[in-house]
């Protein structure tokens, strides 16, 4: 039971609190939340207009 609790705590720390250099020194959970916000309709992706086809004559 103690080992299981220690593992659960470590996984929680690993996924939510530790800083990750390759993620811009953000914790993985914060990096994921930032990505979700950018992919949402009100996020950064929505600011770029849909590319329009170009007609070539």
Q: Is residue 54 part of a domain?
A: no
Which pLDDT score is estimated for 42?
Answer: 63
Structural domain harbouring 31 = 2-41
Cβ neighbors of 44 (< 8 A, separation 6 or more) are: 38
Q: Among 53, 36, 56, which Cα is nearest to 45's?
A: 36
Q: Is 31 within a domain? A: yes
Is residue 57 domain-resident?
no
Within a domain: 51:
no
For the segment 9-28, what is each residue's pLDDT rounded down to a tens digit?
A: 999 998 888 998 988 898 88
Provide the number of structural domains found in the chain: 1
- Give the pLDDT of residue 32: 87
Whole-prediction pTM: 0.49
Task: Point out which residues pair with 20 in neighbouring strands.
Answer: 26
Query: What is the per-residue pLDDT across 2-11, written as a single tens digit (0 to 9) for each?
Result: 999 999 999 9
Q: Is the pLDDT of residue 40 over 80?
A: no
Residue 7 included in any domain: yes
């Amino acid at each position: 039971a103690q080992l299981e609790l220690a593992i659960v705590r470590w996984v929680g720390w690993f996924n939510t609190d530790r800083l990750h250099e390759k993620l811009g020194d953000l914790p993985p959970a914060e990096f994921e939340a930032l990505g979700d916000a950018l992919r949402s309709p009100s996020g950064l992706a929505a600011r770029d207009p849909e590319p329009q086809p170009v007609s070539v004559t």
